[in-house]
């Protein structure tokens, strides 16, 4: 069985594993804001140090924590070059028509790439230490207030939970269909982007058909097990937040505040 | 009778003339192990989906545990009474954690929160999957996945368990695992209805219902149905290997004392033949 490519949950008992997902999610967004808000070298030192500590607290090996970054080297290079060559600025190092390599552009490129890398690692840490079901349960809990404006929060949570757990099986099916088409002469490995994009079109139709078929069969299986709607069910017991959860939320908020103070200095 | 059906007709096209079920009569007693046998498109799944009201009865009569399947208010009771395991285990999981998936049905029936863990544990024990509570279903083998699905059904303590081609997508080991649990549940007094096109799976049944083109072609003991070459041919099924061998030997002039259904019976019959000659 093929699993999620990166960021897949790795069972463990580390501090991050034990943190409540209802806290981990807001902490992730707060730290993401701290990364985006970093404007100086000290700002980046702070967030890099925080992420290093988080990797230690997650108990995950470093290669696993940064796995998703290694997969998008090409994408990061494109982002860097786009910024370095088209950002403009006054300190131009070289110029070829409308393309200008500037110091400001290079700085901007490094900053954007740095932000993407740090946010990816944060996301990895979140998903590798949190079960998809915990993430969706936390989301359901966090979006609960939206119920008052008529949003069917329980249904949304159920849809999210099922969608997440269907990803590995759909990926496996896509791979099987791709193999079947390769066996009949289809080519997916063209280096030209338009050709490569066009080659994926015949893949989309069977994958969609398969997804709809699965959805129909799952709906039948759910009905057979007595599913009516998300409201009319036994509610799961919500564990109260532990001291470490409150502590983590406070520390993350403080880090974000320090970051914005550093920005002002 | 636990299930009593008379003159059941069903068509998938509204007002259409192409019937998926035509004048089907069915009787299933409590505790029976019934195998519904038929080629693809013979109407097996369509028939059993009426038992728990997944399909609405269009014509005829059908009562399950004396409940008329047409009564809309009894639909949820029927579904609790008739557990159903479908063909592909991957299409039946609603959670990525085994224990949460098993608890799904219990939560739907508002089983008290503090009772659920015990029910989940005993359902897992029944399918011999203790210790897998925290595992992701996607990391299990085909047979284990289907056993987890079955545990989700058993947690609701149904009287009738329907296996809708539940072994069709499994490898031989996985099939054996599921069949073993099926037989164990039957011995424990559950009514088992297994749908299959694998004739070998019908050998151990109390009753075989042979279906073809939406009709019941024959109904009776496995020995009577599976050894009838004509019936099997009409139903577009191939008889079990020992039966085919019995008739091949007969054509070659070797007459065994009875038509065997299993390899063991075949070996026994050949030994007996040799000792007689």
Q: Answer yes or no: is pLDDT of B262 > 70.
A: yes
A12 → chain B, closest CA residue = B134
Cβ(A236)–Cβ(B113) below 8 Å: yes
Q: Please say whether the beta carbons of A151 and A143 come within 8 A.
A: yes
Contacting B with CB below 8 Å, chain A residues are 1, 3, 9, 11, 131-133, 161-162, 164-165, 168-169, 214, 217-218, 220-228, 232-237
* CATH number of B181's domain: 3.40.50.300
Contact across the interface for A233 and B92, Cβ inside 8 Å: no
- Inform me whether the C-beta atom of residue B134 falls under 8 Å from chain A C-beta atoms: yes
Q: Are residues B210 and B244 in the same domain?
A: no
Of A73-87, A125-139, A168-182, B199-213, give the range with the top mean pLDDT.
B199-213
B232 assigned to some structural domain: no
Indicate whether B267 belongs to any domain: yes
In a domain, B229, yes or no: no
Shared domain for B244 and B149, answered yes or no, is no
One domain for residues A100 and A5: yes
Tokens 């699905």 correspond to B149
B145-166, pLDDT tens digit by residue?
A: 999 999 999 999 999 999 999 9
Domain contains B192 = yes
Q: Domain residues for A171?
A: 153-229
Q: Which residues of A touch B136 (CB under 8 A)?
A: 9
Q: How confident is the model at residue B183 (pLDDT cuts 50, 70, 90)?
A: very high
- As for the ipTM of the complex, it is 0.87
pLDDT tens, position by position, A138-188 = 888 888 889 889 888 888 888 887 887 777 778 888 888 888 888 887 777
Is the domain of A88 the same as that of A2? Answer: yes
> Does B20 reside within a domain?
yes
Q: For residue A141, is it within any domain?
A: no
The nearest CA of chain B is from the CA of A157 a distance in Å of 12
Residues B214 and B265 placed together within one structural domain of the fold: no
- Nearest CB partner across the interface for A162, out of B79, B86, B94: B94
> Are A224 and A244 within one domain?
no
| Of residues A11, A23, A2, the one with CA closest to residue A170 | A2
- A265 plus A172 within the same structural domain: no
Say how many domains are in chain B.
2
Do B56 and B156 have their domain in common?
Answer: yes
Q: Where are the alpha helices (DSSP H) in chain B?
A: 44-51, 75-81, 98-108, 116-126, 142-154, 172-187, 222-226, 229-234, 241-251, 263-276
Please check whether residue A147 lies inside any domain of the structure. Answer: no
CA distance B165 to chain A (A): 13
Range of the domain at B247: 240-277
Backbone angles phi, psi at B127, to 5 degrees: -100, 15
What is the least distance, in Å, from the CA of A130 to any CA of chain B?
Answer: 12
Of the candidates B109, B136, B149, the beta carbon closest to that of A226 is on B109
Q: Judge whether residue A5 has pLDDT over 60.
A: no
pLDDT digits (tens, 9 = 90+) for B1-57: 899 999 999 998 766 668 899 999 999 999 999 999 999 999 999 999 999 999 999
Residue in A with minimal Cα distance to B90: A169
Give me the number of domains chain A comprises.
2
A143 within domain boundaries: no
Residues B158, B274, single domain; the answer is no
- Least CB–CB distance from B108: residue in A3, A161, A228: A228
**A100 and A41 belong to one structural domain:** yes
Report the predicted TM-score, pTM, of the whole model to 2 decimal places.
0.77
Beta bridge partners of A106: none
In a domain, B234, yes or no: no
B235 found inside a domain: no
- Of B96, B138, B98, B139, which Cα lies nearest the Cα of B120? B98
- Closest-CA residue in chain B for A236? B113
Domain boundary among B196, B224, B252: B224
């Amino acid at each position: 069985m093929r699993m999620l490519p990166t960021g897949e949950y790795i069972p463990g008992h580390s501090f991050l594993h034990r943190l409540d997902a209802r806290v981990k999610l807001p902490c992730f967004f707060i730290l993401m804001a701290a990364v985006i808000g970093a404007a100086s070298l000290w700002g980046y030192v702070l967030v890099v140090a925080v992420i290093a500590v988080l990797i230690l607290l997650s108990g995950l090996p470093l290669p696993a924590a940064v796995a998703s970054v290694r997969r998008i080297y090409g994408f990061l290079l494109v982002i860097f070059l786009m910024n370095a060559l088209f950002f403009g600025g006054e300190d131009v190092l070289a110029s070829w028509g409308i393309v200008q390599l500037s110091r400001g552009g290079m700085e901007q490129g490094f900053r954007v790439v740095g932000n993407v890398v740090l946010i990816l690692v944060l996301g990895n840490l979140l998903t590798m230490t949190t079960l998809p079901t915990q993430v969706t349960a936390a989301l359901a809990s966090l979006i609960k207030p939206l119920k008052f404006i008529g949003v069917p929060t329980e249904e949304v949570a159920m849809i999210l939970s099922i969608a997440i757990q269907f990803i590995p099986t759909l990926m496996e099916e896509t791979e099987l269909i791709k193999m079947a088409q390769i066996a009949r002469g289809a080519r997916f490995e063209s280096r030209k982007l338009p050709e490569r994009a066009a080659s994926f079109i015949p893949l989309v139709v069977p994958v969609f058909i398969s997804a709809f078929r699965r959805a129909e069969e799952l709906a039948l299986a759910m009905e057979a097990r007595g599913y009516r709607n998300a409201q009319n069910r036994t509610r799961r017991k919500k564990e109260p937040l532990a001291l470490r959860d409150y502590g983590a939320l406070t520390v993350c908020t403080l880090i974000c505040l320090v970051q914005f103070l550093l920005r002002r200095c | 009778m636990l299930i009593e059906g008379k003159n059941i007709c069903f068509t998938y096209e509204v007002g259409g003339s192409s019937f998926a079920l035509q004048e089907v009569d069915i009787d299933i007693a409590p505790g029976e192990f019934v195998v519904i046998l038929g080629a693809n498109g013979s109407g097996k799944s369509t028939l059993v989906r009426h038992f728990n009201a997944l399909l609405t009865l269009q014509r005829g009569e059908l009562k399950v545990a004396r409940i008329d399947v047409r009564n809309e208010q009894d639909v949820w009771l029927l579904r609790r009474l008739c557990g159903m395991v479908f063909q592909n285990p991957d299409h039946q999981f609603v959670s990525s954690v085994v224990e949460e998936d098993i608890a799904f049905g219990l939560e739907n029936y508002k089983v008290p929160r503090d009772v659920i863990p015990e029910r989940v544990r005993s359902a897992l024990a029944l399918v011999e999957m203790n210790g897998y509570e925290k595992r992701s279903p996607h990391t299990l083998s085909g047979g284990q996945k289907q056993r987890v699905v079955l545990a989700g059904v058993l947690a609701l303590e149904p009287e009738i368990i329907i296996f809708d081609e539940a072994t069709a997508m499994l490898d031989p080991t996985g099939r054996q695992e599921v069949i073993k649990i099926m037989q164990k549940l039957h011995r424990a007094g559950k009514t088992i209805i297994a749908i299959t096109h694998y004739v070998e799976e019908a050998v151990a049944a109390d009753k075989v219902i042979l279906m073809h083109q939406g009709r019941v072609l024959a109904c009776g003991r496995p020995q009577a149905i599976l050894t009838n070459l004509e019936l099997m041919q009409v139903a577009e099924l191939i008889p079990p290997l020992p039966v085919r061998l019995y008739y091949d030997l007969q054509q070659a002039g070797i007459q065994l004392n009875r038509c065997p259904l299993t390899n063991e019976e075949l070996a026994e019959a050949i030994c007996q033949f040799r000792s007689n000659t």
